Protein backbone atom coordinates (compact mmCIF):
# COMPACT_ATOMS: atom_id res chain seq x y z
CA UNK A 1 0.00 0.00 0.00
CA UNK A 2 1.25 3.46 -0.87
CA UNK A 3 0.65 6.52 1.29
CA UNK A 4 0.60 9.99 -0.19
CA UNK A 5 -0.08 13.49 1.01
CA UNK A 6 -2.66 15.72 -0.68
CA UNK A 7 -3.43 19.11 0.81
CA UNK A 8 -1.77 18.04 4.08
CA UNK A 9 -4.10 15.06 4.60
CA UNK A 10 -2.99 11.45 4.41
CA UNK A 11 -4.62 9.12 1.93
CA UNK A 12 -3.85 5.51 1.10
CA UNK A 13 -4.01 3.92 -2.34
CA UNK A 14 -4.94 0.26 -2.57
CA UNK A 15 -5.04 -1.91 -5.69
CA UNK A 16 -8.12 -3.83 -4.65
CA UNK A 17 -11.87 -3.76 -4.98
CA UNK A 18 -13.91 -1.73 -2.55
CA UNK A 19 -16.42 -3.57 -0.40
CA UNK A 20 -19.79 -3.73 -2.12
CA UNK A 21 -21.46 -1.48 0.48
CA UNK A 22 -18.72 1.14 -0.01
CA UNK A 23 -19.14 0.94 -3.79
CA UNK A 24 -22.90 1.42 -3.54
CA UNK A 25 -22.50 4.30 -1.09
CA UNK A 26 -19.93 6.09 -3.27
CA UNK A 27 -22.20 5.70 -6.33
CA UNK A 28 -25.09 7.17 -4.35
CA UNK A 29 -22.93 10.09 -3.15
CA UNK A 30 -22.29 11.16 -6.75
CA UNK A 31 -25.92 10.72 -7.75
CA UNK A 32 -25.60 7.53 -9.81
CA UNK A 33 -28.63 5.96 -8.15
CA UNK A 34 -29.38 2.59 -6.65
CA UNK A 35 -27.98 -0.66 -7.93
CA UNK A 36 -28.94 -4.24 -7.11
CA UNK A 37 -26.46 -5.63 -4.55
CA UNK A 38 -25.98 -8.94 -6.38
CA UNK A 39 -25.32 -7.11 -9.65
CA UNK A 40 -22.76 -4.91 -7.89
CA UNK A 41 -20.99 -7.94 -6.38
CA UNK A 42 -20.80 -9.71 -9.75
CA UNK A 43 -19.63 -6.57 -11.51
CA UNK A 44 -16.86 -5.87 -9.01
CA UNK A 45 -15.75 -9.51 -9.00
CA UNK A 46 -15.50 -9.59 -12.80
CA UNK A 47 -13.38 -6.45 -13.11
CA UNK A 48 -9.83 -6.68 -14.45
CA UNK A 49 -8.29 -4.01 -12.21
CA UNK A 50 -9.30 -1.94 -9.18
CA UNK A 51 -7.81 1.07 -7.46
CA UNK A 52 -9.25 2.75 -4.38
CA UNK A 53 -8.27 5.78 -2.31
CA UNK A 54 -9.07 6.03 1.37
CA UNK A 55 -8.78 8.72 3.98
CA UNK A 56 -8.04 6.54 7.00
CA UNK A 57 -10.67 3.79 6.58
CA UNK A 58 -13.16 5.93 4.61
CA UNK A 59 -13.43 5.24 0.85
CA UNK A 60 -13.14 8.58 -0.97
CA UNK A 61 -12.42 7.44 -4.52
CA UNK A 62 -12.28 4.43 -6.79
CA UNK A 63 -11.86 3.37 -10.38
CA UNK A 64 -11.72 0.10 -12.22
CA UNK A 65 -11.06 -1.46 -15.61
CA UNK A 66 -13.38 -3.98 -17.20
CA UNK A 67 -13.09 -5.87 -20.47
CA UNK A 68 -11.72 -9.08 -21.93
CA UNK A 69 -8.14 -8.46 -20.79
CA UNK A 70 -6.72 -8.75 -24.30
CA UNK A 71 -8.30 -6.66 -27.05
CA UNK A 72 -10.75 -4.51 -25.12
CA UNK A 73 -10.33 -2.50 -21.95
CA UNK A 74 -12.92 -0.10 -20.63
CA UNK A 75 -12.28 2.40 -17.84
CA UNK A 76 -15.29 2.31 -15.56
CA UNK A 77 -16.51 3.96 -12.37
CA UNK A 78 -13.93 6.69 -11.89
CA UNK A 79 -15.67 8.09 -8.81
CA UNK A 80 -14.51 10.63 -6.24
CA UNK A 81 -16.73 11.53 -3.32
CA UNK A 82 -17.98 15.11 -3.93
CA UNK A 83 -16.44 16.25 -0.62
CA UNK A 84 -13.01 15.18 -1.92
CA UNK A 85 -13.16 16.40 -5.51
CA UNK A 86 -10.58 18.82 -6.89
CA UNK A 87 -7.84 17.50 -4.59
CA UNK A 88 -6.06 15.39 -7.21
CA UNK A 89 -7.63 12.08 -6.23
CA UNK A 90 -9.10 11.53 -9.71
CA UNK A 91 -5.66 12.09 -11.21
CA UNK A 92 -4.13 9.51 -8.88
CA UNK A 93 -6.82 7.00 -9.85
CA UNK A 94 -6.15 7.59 -13.54
CA UNK A 95 -2.37 7.35 -13.10
CA UNK A 96 -2.79 3.91 -11.52
CA UNK A 97 -5.14 2.84 -14.32
CA UNK A 98 -2.77 4.13 -16.99
CA UNK A 99 0.10 2.24 -15.37
CA UNK A 100 -1.95 -0.96 -15.39
CA UNK A 101 -2.95 -0.43 -19.02
CA UNK A 102 0.60 0.34 -20.17
CA UNK A 103 1.69 -3.01 -18.74
CA UNK A 104 -1.32 -5.00 -19.94
CA UNK A 105 -2.82 -3.61 -23.17
CA UNK A 106 -0.81 -4.65 -26.24
CA UNK A 107 -0.59 -3.00 -29.66
CA UNK A 108 -3.97 -3.33 -31.35
CA UNK A 109 -5.96 -3.15 -28.11
CA UNK A 110 -8.79 -0.67 -27.70
CA UNK A 111 -9.17 1.31 -24.49
CA UNK A 112 -12.43 3.18 -24.05
CA UNK A 113 -14.46 5.08 -21.52
CA UNK A 114 -17.70 6.97 -21.28
CA UNK A 115 -17.33 10.24 -19.41
CA UNK A 116 -19.82 12.69 -18.05
CA UNK A 117 -20.46 15.76 -20.18
CA UNK A 118 -17.93 18.43 -19.31
CA UNK A 119 -15.29 15.98 -18.06
CA UNK A 120 -13.68 15.40 -21.46
CA UNK A 121 -10.73 17.67 -20.66
CA UNK A 122 -9.80 15.57 -17.63
CA UNK A 123 -9.46 12.44 -19.76
CA UNK A 124 -7.80 14.30 -22.64
CA UNK A 125 -4.78 14.77 -20.33
CA UNK A 126 -4.27 11.01 -20.62
CA UNK A 127 -4.59 10.91 -24.40
CA UNK A 128 -8.29 10.09 -24.71
CA UNK A 129 -10.12 11.84 -27.52
CA UNK A 130 -13.73 12.50 -28.36
CA UNK A 131 -14.39 10.65 -31.56
CA UNK A 132 -15.88 12.92 -34.20
CA UNK A 133 -19.29 11.86 -35.47
CA UNK A 134 -17.91 11.06 -38.93
CA UNK A 135 -15.07 8.83 -37.67
CA UNK A 136 -15.12 5.06 -37.37
CA UNK A 137 -18.31 5.17 -35.30
CA UNK A 138 -20.04 6.71 -32.35
CA UNK A 139 -20.11 5.66 -28.75
CA UNK A 140 -23.56 4.29 -28.18
CA UNK A 141 -25.13 3.01 -25.00
CA UNK A 142 -28.31 1.40 -23.87
CA UNK A 143 -29.17 1.61 -20.17
CA UNK A 144 -31.51 -0.99 -18.72
The number of domains in the chain is 1
Average pLDDT, the chain: 87
**Is residue 31 situated within a structural domain?**
yes
7 part of a folded domain: yes
Within a domain: 49:
yes
Domain membership of residue 62 as a residue range: 2-124
Strands 49-55 and 72-80: unpaired
Please check whether residue 78 lies inside any domain of the structure: yes
In a domain, 143, yes or no: no
- What spatial distance separates the first Cα and last Cα of the chain, rounded to whole Å? 37
Q: What is the pLDDT of residues 25-50, one digit of tens each?
A: 999 999 988 899 999 999 999 999 99
CA distance linking residue 136 with residue 130, whole number of Å: 12
CATH number for the domain spanning 112: value is 3.40.630.30
% of the chain surpassing 90 pLDDT: 65
Question: What is the spatial distance between Cα 122 and Cα 90, in angstroms, rounded to a whole number?
Answer: 9
The answer to whether position 39 is within a domain reads: yes
Q: What pLDDT is attached to residue 8?
A: 42
C-alpha triplet 22, 24, 69: angle, nearest 5°: 90
Residue 18 pLDDT grade (very low, low, confident, very high; cuts 50, 70, 90): very high
Amino acid sequence: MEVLVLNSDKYSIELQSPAVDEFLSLRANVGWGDLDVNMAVTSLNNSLFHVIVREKSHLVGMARVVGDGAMYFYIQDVIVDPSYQNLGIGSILMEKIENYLSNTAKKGSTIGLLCAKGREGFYARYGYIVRPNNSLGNCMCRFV
